[in-house]
Amino acid sequence: MMSTQRLGGCVIVRLAGEFADADVLPLQRALCDLVASDDVVIDLSRTGPSAATVVGALTAAHDEAVRHRMSLHVTGAAGALRRLLNRSQLEARLTYHEHLADAVESALAARDARTHGT
């Protein structure tokens, strides 16, 4: 399941539950659509053990954010998913935050820097 919330100029995407292989492509499309026009925070704290299936969607969303000069911030990965992000070196490419508040603050700062040209 995916829910979104607009907060002060960025979009928080909360992923929850389990993700099957069939869920990945629709998720990838949704995330890519969001990062094409908004700074996005993805909260993985409510995902289940099968959340590792979303790594491909995160990779595509990251690439799309770079292409559109938007920012993508990830938080809340735990256990196997966090280890997978580390192993895949995706975490090094993503802007990862331990806490949701830090991720939102960073997304808003990226938006402000882009808006004000700093």
Give the mean pLDDT of 60-66: 94
What CATH number is given to the structural domain containing 9?
Answer: 3.30.750.24
Domain that holds residue 51: 2-116
Q: pTM value?
A: 0.89
Tell me the one-letter amino acid at 78: A
Cα 37 to Cα 32: distance, rounded to the nearest angstrom:
9
Give the pLDDT of residue 6.
93
Q: Is residue 90 predicted with pLDDT exceeding 70?
A: no
Contact 34, 13 (CB under 8 A): yes
Domain count, the chain: 1
